[in-house]
Amino acid sequence: MKTIVFALLTSLLSALHPTTSPTRPAPTTYGGQSCVYFCRETGALGYAYGGTNTCQTAYTYCRNYGGRYPQQVFSHYGAGYAAVALGTNANGGRVIGSSAGYASQYDADQRALRECVNRGGTGTYIQAQWYVE
């Protein structure tokens, strides 16, 4: 059941959030803050960068994607590359790792993947990437 829910949430995120794709889209330039929310209960993810009310937007995305109790897991204000990694823990739950402020997309990806693994994630992959000026 958890595998089906995970697959459905991943499909939903890919369809609804234009920069969420394991195929690594080209980084897009925006200004300002990066913020990530995650619901441990449902595995829903919401993130936003640039613009105004970035953390409120990320929270709203998480709720819209099925999050019941979104928790802010990451916030960064400043320039650099950013990434969000996802994986699965031993119980079949979704695990997240995130990073921002890196000089290269490779470094941001590696940090996000490492954070995901450090939290017990296996089968990790990059779900989203962006660049903030």
- ∠16-116-1 over CA atoms, to 5°? 60
- pLDDT per residue over 53-86, tens digit each? 999 999 999 999 999 999 999 999 999 999 999 9
Count CA atoms closer than 13 A to 14's CA, side-chain side.
14
| Amino acid type, 57 | T
- pLDDT per residue over 19-56, tens digit each? 333 334 444 544 579 999 999 999 999 999 987 899 99
β-bridge pairing 29-30 and 122-132: parallel
SS3 54: helix
Q: What is the pTM of this model?
A: 0.76
Q: And the tokens for 133?
A: 């000026």
For the segment 6-10, the average pLDDT, to the nearest whole number, is 41
Residue (of 82, 90, 52, 55) closest to 70 by Cα position = 55
- pLDDT per residue over 80-112, tens digit each? 999 999 999 999 999 999 999 999 999 999 999
